[in-house]
Amino acid sequence: MTRLLLGVTLERICKAVLLLCLLHFVIIMILYFDVYAQHLDFFSRFNARNASRAHPFSNSSRPNGTVPSYGPAGAEAPSPSAKPSTNHSATEKPLQPCQDTPPGLVGRLLIEFSSPMSMERVQRENPDVRLGGKYTPADCLPRQKVAILIPFRHREHHLKYWLHYLHPILRRQKVAYGIYIINQFGEDTFNRAKLLNVGFLEALKDDEEYDCFIFSDVDLVPMDDRNLYRCYEQPRHFAVGMDKFGFRLPYAGYFGGVSGLSKSQFLKINGFPNEYWGWGGEDDDIFNRISLNGMKVSRPDIRIGRYRMIKHERDKHNEPNPQRFTKIQNTKMTMKRDGISSLQYRVVEVSRQPMYTNITVEIGRPPPRLARG
């Protein structure tokens, strides 16, 4: 009898252990589903690499070498030999406006930063990009002209990966764009928002037809090319879900990472604040400016607005700004006097590189802090 009871007890224990193992397995599968989905998506497209190479707007590198979709299921894909007509006869049709949803988009992308990267490779993969990092679609008329502005200092390693991924994405999105690196001269405290103000003015000096401005950190790469880099009826926040935040919006008023405003929207809020020296606060001030001027922030779906961040240590001379919380509370009083209307800077050098335009500027230094007495 004792042996029978012992056997029944052991059987129940085994069943309980088995159920716990099964539950653990299910939880693990749920938590890592997105990661597995990306890899499965990548390998499912591996056999179609030749089609990707034939497409004029695909990136032939391994991490970004995915096959573009060509519209609804059953739709015929363009012929590999199909090229824009070079016949300039009287019957040639003029270019049509680019579609709101470009037909060559891929969707979810596999983004990784472990493969070696060089500027020569980026240039080799993007032969259609013109000097200064400029591109215009050859087969349609883009609806906007976009200046992409990156505040910068000592991030050459990150810039290579950013260009490697973003050039092919932007080309597939049929964007007419120029990329501007706004490089802060010297080693004084970093000022992200002031650099972006400089970029706005300098980009317009370079091409007055820009009507849309995308402001992006150099360490953030979109994971889905359906996150369209263009301007909308309301100011746009693109970086909805970063990996460092668990692919979630950290708080409702978050406007950091990657954002976009039209020329008129930017001028309506008097640009960005110039007085946020060091890390933090300027994006919350910008959000306040947008709200105080009667506009609302628009965002893509959380499943599309995902970003990978290149891991790094915080830069020297970019320590957290201890005054940021006080300044954020005073946006209403400061936004009319502090912004694009009060901007002062000096251009040190403008250099047009094959994949981008570098603008090195001197923007001054933070005012001395009053001693507490």
Which residues carry out catalysis?
217, 219, 279, 282-283, 309, 312, 314
Q: Decide if 223 contacts 198 (C-beta within 8 A).
A: no
Residue 183: strand pairing partners: 152, 360
Which pair of structure tokens corresponds to residue 242?
Answer: 């970063």
* Contact status, residue 126 vs residue 168, Cβ threshold 8 Å: yes
Q: Name the residue among 148, 2, 139 with its Cα closest to residue 83.
A: 139
Residue partners of 362: CB distance under 8 A and separation at least 6: 185, 186, 345, 346, 348
Read off φ and ψ for residue 324, nearest 5 degrees. Answer: -65, -40
CA-to-CA distance for 334 and 342, rounded, in angstroms? Answer: 11
**Cβ neighbours of 115 (radius 10 Å):** 11
**Tell me, what DSSP letter sits at residue 61?**
S
Beta bridge partners of 309: 220
The string over 151-170, giving b where at least 16 C-beta atoms fall within 10 Å of a residue's C-beta and e elsewhere, is bbbebeebbbbbbbbbbbbb
Spatial distance between the Cα atoms of 218 and 238, rounded to a whole number of angstroms: 14
Positions of E strands within the chain: 134-135, 145-152, 176-184, 212-216, 220-222, 236-237, 241-242, 258-262, 306-309, 346-352, 357-362
